[in-house]
Chain A
């Protein structure tokens, strides 16, 4: 096209294209343009444009404008929708009780679903914020017994693993260890910050994880081994709110532990680690520093001593199964070869590269750094959330279809006037949308009210604010449409199907004895209700089984605390504590019951003079001679530790050992009777000695795991003291403990815990699960009951005449009640047969997590059905009584 030629203004052209009949557009616009060009050449372009526009405006008239079909129908539709909404609102207003039931049902259903969705969304979002999350793996180590069974899988690796793996395999681009066990004190200009969580790591850490630097950067983070990167909140804690103005980079802080001090320079500040991360570190410092202190040997250790949390970032195209295979084939041979005993190291160790994104939900390895979530819990809650939403929708369907008798005439009239089936469907769908639109704000209020409790309960900071979080806003809108179509579609189809003639005659075309889709819906509701009641029953009975089961040791009024730091004699500390009359007993140990049996050495059992390595894992707890007495554990055979029975476990010296084993260990060694084990020779780690006693089994770990063979020995290396208190004046006794502790260690607080609390905490997750399911099940049952009441009300209404006739013929209220209930009882029966096996299967799966579990008693099985029947009969009784009180004359007089 010639560039000199002026072009006609564009918006009138667009306007023309919009309104002019398509058939006319081409030549008319062509004509206009041609003339425009002539005019533009003849007079001015401006005039031509004005003319052009004016002509188009004048063309906008009937005859030229497109057939109004499309616009017309939109107008018709909006008018009809206005009508639907008006009728809908009138109906909602007229039948207030069913409206209230529907709105309560839907809003609680939606609120519960959204709350669960928030929780689930949070759980599955862990660690995803790291840029290379898909390529990050944690190096975990599996330990095998002589028999080739996995004994433990550690979340940690050995110190020497990271660097060697990185060097040997090109797929591993970056590798970093984290050493989290230092807890040094930090001193800055005279201010002390005790036991801070300083984590030592390799410089690769910044290439693996995406830590956001606010000050400094990843490259300059670790210029030397005295560097310190801290989080924003720690920067505020140490340097004050104005740390940014102060310019703290380069400031020196002193790290000290056990009398050793070292100055560290602040090299960077990173954002606090988000909640959705499976570890939280406050400070990062170069791991070279720890290596320097521990020495080269410790840093190069490749077997055992799993204290080094190790992460690697693979190259994006790495083949992980192949790499795992390769590493396990080569690594152990290359770096360990054979043990002293002659066994191949490769038979006892395996690496497993655990994807970062799996850690939070599916990993529960030995020594997880923080408590992880559980995928089962996520599944269970997802199922419950969806069920709740479905129950709420089904509720709506039930009530809406029971409206049948009331809406029949309306539908009939609409059909006579010419309503299509599709427009009736639209009408009923818009009614359900209306109810949902009313329910959602209520649901939002419920969510806002309930969220603090949920947060408290699951220990999260979930946020709900649709005004800011667009994803939640969009989600809510989608949910609204979904729920309204899910809830409204069946009633819409059902009501639009009504036969015209019957509808206008007022006949009952729906034979009430016929089985229809609604029976199916009611049955579904019963299945959910029965299933949830059953689940509550099982969880409750398992929890009470555990609460009431005897773990085999005394946990009442038992207090345990970590030992004070500093230089003192254990015995002095113990004696100071025992001075108080209300402290009955005191005992030192490395771990206490409710803890984990994580320490173990290899053990050998002597038959004659030849030692055979035991095939099972034998963990060790170091205790003093008061331990058994304090925890009330019986000696079955042999004797307790006496003075001088200390075992000095040092790696290089063979020493004499005195061991007490539990009954499980004695049986594992092949002795049926505990007596037989006493006096037998046993080698444990670098020590060799005899079994001096056998103690009764008790649950050192939680009831999740079986009682494992365990070995106890005395050795002056303890971490905790356990105190048995008298029940009187506990508060005062605790004050005494604090005072004594302060005499030995003025800097830290005695972090004492009651053992029964610790015991209960082992099952906290189940308790939490139980209470949450209880709350949500209660909501589901509530919704179901409401629906039932609403539905029965309508059924009775349609049967008022029948009831009247029956009463005239002499039926009692009771018999009428039974007639109406009958049908529901059959549905309960079906639901029971269908729902219970399903729930049983589901719950049995859950019970299998426990080694020690309750059996599902017949009462537990019958109970849900009985509750469902009672609730149903009550709901029906309420409505029936109302109906039977009416004088039969009232309902029979017309027609």
Chain B
């Protein structure tokens, strides 16, 4: 089986792109992460993650419309590819495997550091 490498931030970005579905471009992705997760995201970090995942073919992109507020520049819309979906699935799966392997006693002290991974996952749209 193919290895799917996904960093923590990458996974968040990839999931957000999936959430936003047809409206996933730089600003909207950033906003979504910032509001939903209440964390600051720099353009630099976001772009790095996006481009890296595009290179890994988890994402694909195409130019969309331009608006005046953007100084006449076009948006680049991102979409999750099949590979991207597979990567997310794989990531989730491995996590679930691990989850199920945790003995109950471990929760007492491990709650804190895994909290960020415990997100309510909305249904993934089919790509």
Contacts and interface: CB of A to CB of B under 8 A. Distances in A.
Interface stretch (B46-54, B86-94, B103-111): B46-54
Contact of B47 (A5, A30, A37, A59): A59
B44 A58 contact: yes
Interface string B25-65: 11100100000000000111101100110000000000100
Given A2-B68, A33-B69, A34-B69, A27 B44 contact: no
A27 B69 contact: no
B30 A35 contact: yes
Contact of B51 (A8, A30, A55, A63): A63
A5 B72 CA distance: 13
A30 B43 contact: no
Given A55-B43, A63-B51, A30 B68 contact: no
B73 to A, nearest CB: 3
B47 A33 contact: no
Interface string B1-42: 000000000000000000000000111001000000000001
B42 A58 contact: yes
Given A29-B73, A30-B74, A33-B69, A24 B51 contact: yes
A26 interface: yes
Contacts of B73: 26-27, 29-30, 33
Q: Using C-beta atoms within 8 Å of the partner chain, give the interface range for chain A.
A: 20 to 34
Contacts of B30: 31, 35
A28 interface: yes
Contact of B70 (A2, A33, A55, A59): A33
A879 to B, nearest CB: 67
A521 interface: no
Contacts of A29: 71, 73
Q: Is the interface of B mostly helix, strand, loop or mixed?
A: helix
A32 B44 CA distance: 10
Given A26-B73, A26-B74, A31 B44 contact: no
Contacts of A59: 43-44, 47
Q: Is the interface of A mostly helix, strand, loop or mixed?
A: helix
A809 interface: no
A676 B30 CA distance: 125
Interface string A14-39: 00000000001011111111110110
A449 interface: no
B121 to A, nearest CB: 26
A61 B71 CA distance: 24
A55 B44 contact: yes
A1 interface: yes
Contacts of A8: 71
Contact of B43 (A1, A5, A37, A58): A58
B44 A64 contact: yes
A27 B63 contact: yes
Nearest to B55: A63
B66 interface: yes
Contacts of A30: 26, 66, 70-71, 73-75
Contacts of B74: 26-27, 30
Contacts of A24: 47, 51
Contacts of B67: 34
- Greatest chain A CB density within 10 A among B52, B67, B73, B75 is at B73
A865 B73 CA distance: 79
A27 B75 contact: yes
Contacts, number: 74
Contacts of B75: 27, 30-31
Nearest to A7: B71
B44 A34 contact: no
A61 B51 contact: no
A7 B71 CA distance: 9
Contacts of B76: 26-27
B42 A31 contact: no
A58 B42 CA distance: 8
A565 B3 CA distance: 120
Nearest to B48: A63
B57 to A, nearest CB: 16
B53 to A, nearest CB: 12
Contacts of B25: 27, 31
Contacts of A34: 26-27, 67, 69-70
A32 B43 contact: yes
Nearest to A20: B47
A31 B26 contact: yes
A63 B74 CA distance: 21
A613 B15 CA distance: 120
A61 B63 contact: no
Given A35-B27, A58-B42, A63-B52, A28 B71 contact: no
Contact of A64 (B47, B66, B71): B47
A12 to B, nearest CB: 12
Nearest to A62: B48
Contacts of B27: 31, 34-35, 38
B76 to A, nearest CB: 4
A547 to B, nearest CB: 87
A58 B47 CA distance: 11
A38 B52 CA distance: 27
Contacts of A33: 69-71, 73
Contacts of A35: 27, 30, 43
A595 to B, nearest CB: 86
B31 to A, nearest CB: 8
24 contacts: A1-B68, A5-B69, A7-B71, A8-B71, A26-B73, A26-B74, A26-B76, A27-B25, A27-B73, A27-B76, A29-B71, A30-B73, A31-B26, A31-B27, A31-B75, A33-B71, A33-B73, A35-B27, A35-B43, A55-B44, A58-B42, A59-B43, A61-B48, A63-B48
Given A27-B25, A27-B63, 13 more contacts: A1-B68, A26-B63, A26-B73, A30-B26, A30-B66, A32-B43, A33-B70, A33-B73, A34-B69, A34-B70, A38-B69, A55-B43, A64-B47
Interface of B: 25-27, 30, 42-45, 47-48, 51-52, 63, 66-76
Interface of A: 1-2, 5, 7-8, 24, 26-35, 37-38, 55, 58-59, 61, 63-64
Closest 3 CB pairs of A and B: A30-B73, A31-B26, A27-B76
